[in-house]
Structure formats: structure tokens, C-alpha cells
Amino acid sequence: MGVISASLCFLLIAYYSFRNSNRVKSQDEYLLAGRHTRLLPLVATLVMTEFNTGTLISFSSLGYLAGYWALAMPFIFLIGLLFYTLTVAKKWKQFNGVSVAHFFATRYGRKLELLVAGVLFLAMLGFSAAYIKSLTLLMLPLIPVKSLILSAVLVIIILLLTLRGGLSSIIALDVLSFIFVLIFFPLLVYFSYHLPQSNQIPAFNLAQMQTLLPPKFIISLTILTMFSYIIAPWYGQKIVAAKTQQTAYLAAAIAAVIIFLLYGLGILATAILRSKGVQLTDIQLGLPYLIHNALPNALQGVAYVVLFFVAASTLAGVWNAMVTLVVGSIFKSNSSKVNTNIFWVLICAIAAYIIANTLIDNILSKMILFNIPIVAFCFALLAGFYWSKANIQGAYVSILAGIAWGVFCYFYFGEAGNYTWYWAIYGIPLIFISGISASLFYAKKS
């Protein structure tokens, strides 16, 4: 029964995605879905772009580690994405460019565009590798083969589903996956609650939970999310695909709330698992355990299909956004042929697969680390949108200050020393103060 329900679920979503592949005839349709995406599909694709297995496993592992206090973690995305909505959602749609990096060319010049595009491309390569790693971890209990082989098979399936149709097929995939996700995660919490008690364990008090998951860590990640997501190419690309500025604004706001709720449900399920006294060898295995032991047999296969498409939609979206950087900023391709974009998606997927199987170990720590250069661009972006006196010198100084401070914090304080706190609390003001000071200084000299 489980195999049949899983197969039907997979075929339904795959068919819906394939159906949109043949409609793509131009680069604009492949990368930006013709820039006429309506509200509900846009909400679905924004949610599925951010709601990914990498963050889901990381957050849910904290639910098992720190109990119900970990429910504070989804506020990172609620606050971060609402900040995105208020500051840049309409601005990106107003800009309406192929690549988010191209904004820096129009505001500061070609050299900074290349720097931004190159850094974002490398960071997204790291993100997509982490997503592949997390998807492989989820699927290993179901398909117990070597992770090298399993991850290759998963990447190939994702490419088969989305390679030809680009963003149009990704949005179609997202819409149906979104519906399944909204149904699945409340069910996961329900069946977790009804899991039999395994062992009696003493309940955590708040102080103990906050020792395991320090409030400073949550606050710092909230600040870093606020100032990294504003330039996220995988989000900016979807916003540009919106039909109007108002559509972009409303979709971003609604998506922020839904993402908050979905991550909260994932954390709640593993916090309940911990309260049941279940002992895990690895805190990252909470979700796979629940799927195998809490869900009815008929739903287990469906659960894996849903989680696969959660990862597939995110990965396909990130690879597609990486291609916008390549053809829109790095190599400036004017070709309208879809085959060029397909070639670059393949390159991105292969590179991410290699990194996933060689460099990624702790998923959350690596995903945070990849944000160091992205956060460094926050002054240049916001000042570019809102401050006419911002100049190229201020942009460069702020970027150098941001990267230098982030790297220093990582190596000096380290993960054990909660480096994200020092990076966020002192680094963000440093980026803005240095950028403003340099802009004003060089403006006086010119």
C-alpha cells in the first residue's frame, strides 16, 4: 500500500512538472517564467524555494536536542523574510533584471557586478551541495546504498524533472509540492504525538534548553538572515518573475508566515520525539526516525516523496538562479536559446554533487558559513536602492570590511565560541559605518 501511494504521489507531481516543460521557448521563459507569475503560484514557489531539507534537518535536529525552546528558531525566517518584504521585494520587481548581480552594474559599475556574481555563485554552489547532502541523509534509511551512488541518482531524477522547463516547470513542481507539504507536516506532528512512550526522561527546564541552544545564537542568525536574504538570487529571481510589484510584495509577506509555520511543525515533531524518550545516535536522524516509526505504512512512502520534492524544488531553483548569474552577469549571454541555460544547469548540478560528497559534514554550520560573503553585500545593496550618495568606493570598503570581519570571527571565536553573535552584532554596524564613511569621504574628494 505504501509503495502504491508513494508511486501515485510521485507520478502526479512529476506529470504536473513535465506538463509545463514544452511551453518554454526563450531564455526569459526559462529563467524568469515570462515575468507574469500570479500571487498563489508565486507564494508556493517562494515557500518551496526556502523550505528546504537542509534547513529542515538542521532545525528539526535542534528540536530533538533542545526540546520546545527550539520553536524559537522559525522566528529567524519570519523576521528575516518580513524584513525582505518591507525593504526589497518591490525594489527587485521594479529593477526587473535577469540577474540580481546586474543591479550592481547599473548602480556601481561592471567590476562590482562581476565580484558580486562570482561570490554569489560560489556561495550558492555550497548551499546546493548542503541540500544534496541533506536529501541523501533523508533517503538513506529508505534506500540503503552508498551515499555517493544515492546522491547521484537523486540529482539525476531532479534534473530529469526540471532541466527542460526551467523556472516554469520549477513553479509547476512547487505548486503541487506545496499542497502536499501543507497536508503532510500537520499529519507528522499528529502521529508523532501518538507515538508510544519509549523511556521516561526528565523534562528540560528553560535554562537547560537555552544552554543547549543559546538565545544569542538565535538572535545572531535572525540578524544575519535579514541582511543576507535581501540579496539572495534564488529569491530575487522569483520576485522578478512576479506579474506586478504588488504581487511580489504580498507573496513575500504570505510566504514568510507559511515558512515560519512549516519549520515550526518540523521542530515540534522532533521535540515531541525527544519527550517520548527515544534515543538517537545522531540528532539529525529525528525526521527519518519519525517517518519509519510514527507514520502508518501507507504514508511512509508518501513522506519520502514529499521530502524528495521539497529538496528537488529548492535545488532546481538554486541551480536555475545560479544560471541567471552566469548568463546575466558573468558572461553576459544575449542568446535566447534555451540549450545554453540547460548546459549551465548541468555544470552547476555536477559541481554541487562533487562538493556534497567531499566537503559537507555538518549541514547547518556549513550553510551559515557560506553566508559570510553574502552578508558583506548588504550595505551596497540597500544603499544602492535607498541612498543616492552611495558610491563605488563605499561599496568596496563595506564589502571588504564585512568579509574580513566574518572570516576573523569564524577563525578567532569559532563555532564553540558562538562566532555568529560577534559576526552579526558587530559586523553589520561595521559594514554600514564603513560604507557610509567611505562614500562620504570619497564624495568630498571628487
pLDDT of residue 61: 92
In a shared domain, residues 357 and 391: no
In a shared domain, residues 111 and 62: yes
| pLDDT digit string, tens, across residues 140-182 | 877 888 989 999 999 999 888 888 777 777 888 888 889 989 9
Bridge partners, 242 (sequence order): 37
- Among the ranges given (21-30, 93-102, 232-241, 401-410), the one the predictor scored with the smallest mean pLDDT: 21-30
pLDDT of residue 333: 66
User: In the structure, what pLDDT confidence band is assigned to residue 111 with cuts at 50, 70 and 90?
Assistant: very high
Query: Cα torsion for 162, 165, 167, 169, to the nearest 10°?
Result: -70
CA-wise closest residue to 268 among 23, 66, 49: 66
Quote the cell numbers at residue 199: 523511556
In a shared domain, residues 396 and 291: no
Amino acid letter at 342? I
User: In the structure, what pLDDT confidence band is assigned to residue 76 with cuts at 50, 70 and 90?
Assistant: very high
Average pLDDT over residues 90-101: 89
In a shared domain, residues 340 and 402: no
pLDDT of residue 440: 94
CATH of the domain at 146: 1.20.1730.10
End-to-end C-alpha distance for the chain, whole angstroms: 74
Average pLDDT over residues 272-284: 87
Average pLDDT over residues 286-297: 88
In a shared domain, residues 387 and 350: no
30 sits in which H/E element: helix 27-32
- Among the ranges given (245-259, 276-290, 333-347), the one the predictor scored with the smallest mean pLDDT: 333-347
In a shared domain, residues 437 and 357: no
Q: What DSSP line would sit under 135-179, residue for residue?
A: HHHHHTTTS-S-HHHHHHHHHHHHHHHHTTTHHHHHHHHHHHHHH
In a shared domain, residues 434 and 382: yes
From 323, 339, 366, the end of a domain falls on 366
CA-wise closest residue to 260 among 86, 58, 72: 72
Q: Are 252 and 89 in contact (CB under 8 A)?
A: yes
pLDDT of residue 28: 65
DSSP-derived secondary structure letter, 89: I
How many separate domains does the chain show?
A: 2
* Segment of 1-15, 67-81, 275-289 carrying the highest mean pLDDT: 67-81
In a shared domain, residues 142 and 29: yes
pLDDT of residue 83: 97
pLDDT of residue 30: 67
* pLDDT(363) > 90: no
Quote the cell numbers at residue 268: 515540534
Give the whole-angstrom CA distance, residue 173 versus residue 214. 37
Bridge partners, 37 (sequence order): 242
Structural domain contains residue 190: yes
Q: Are 301 and 96 in contact (CB under 8 A)?
A: no
Alpha helices in 326-337 (DSSP H): none
Q: Are 192 and 60 in contact (CB under 8 A)?
A: no
Give the whole-angstrom CA distance, residue 339 versus residue 343. 6
Q: Are 380 and 119 in contact (CB under 8 A)?
A: no
- Among the ranges given (88-92, 161-165, 312-316, 413-417), the one the predictor scored with the smallest mean pLDDT: 161-165
Q: What percent of the chain has pLDDT over 70?
A: 92
Structural domain contains residue 274: yes
pTM over 0.85: yes
Q: What percent of the chain has pLDDT over 90?
A: 47
Structural domain contains residue 371: no
Q: Are 309 and 173 in contact (CB under 8 A)?
A: yes
* pLDDT(401) > 60: yes
pLDDT of residue 339: 78
CA-wise closest residue to 135 among 10, 2, 259, 312: 312
Amino acid letter at 367? M
In a shared domain, residues 307 and 420: no
In a shared domain, residues 353 and 395: no
Amino acid letter at 68? Y
> Any idea how long the chain is?
446
From 336, 366, 396, the end of a domain falls on 366
Quote the cell numbers at residue 239: 520576485
Helix, strand, or coil (residue 85): helix
| pLDDT digit string, tens, across residues 86-95 | 999 999 999 9
More confident site: 103 or 36: 103
CA-wise closest residue to 195 among 60, 65, 294: 294
Query: Cα torsion for 337, 338, 341, 343, to the nearest 10°?
Result: -100
CA-wise closest residue to 310 among 47, 42, 74: 47
CA-wise closest residue to 115 among 389, 434, 396, 315: 396
Give the whole-angstrom CA distance, residue 81 versus residue 255. 8
What lies within 8 Å, CB to CB, of 341 at 6+ separation is: 27, 30, 31, 166, 323, 327
Give the whole-angstrom CA distance, residue 56 versus residue 266. 7
Structural domain contains residue 341: yes
What lies within 8 Å, CB to CB, of 390 at 6+ separation is: 107, 379, 380, 383, 384, 435, 439
From 366, 397, 423, the end of a domain falls on 366
130 sits in which H/E element: helix 110-139
Query: Residue 388 belongs to what domain range?
Result: 376-446
In a shared domain, residues 258 and 314: yes
In a shared domain, residues 405 and 356: no
Cell 564589502 belongs to residue: 399
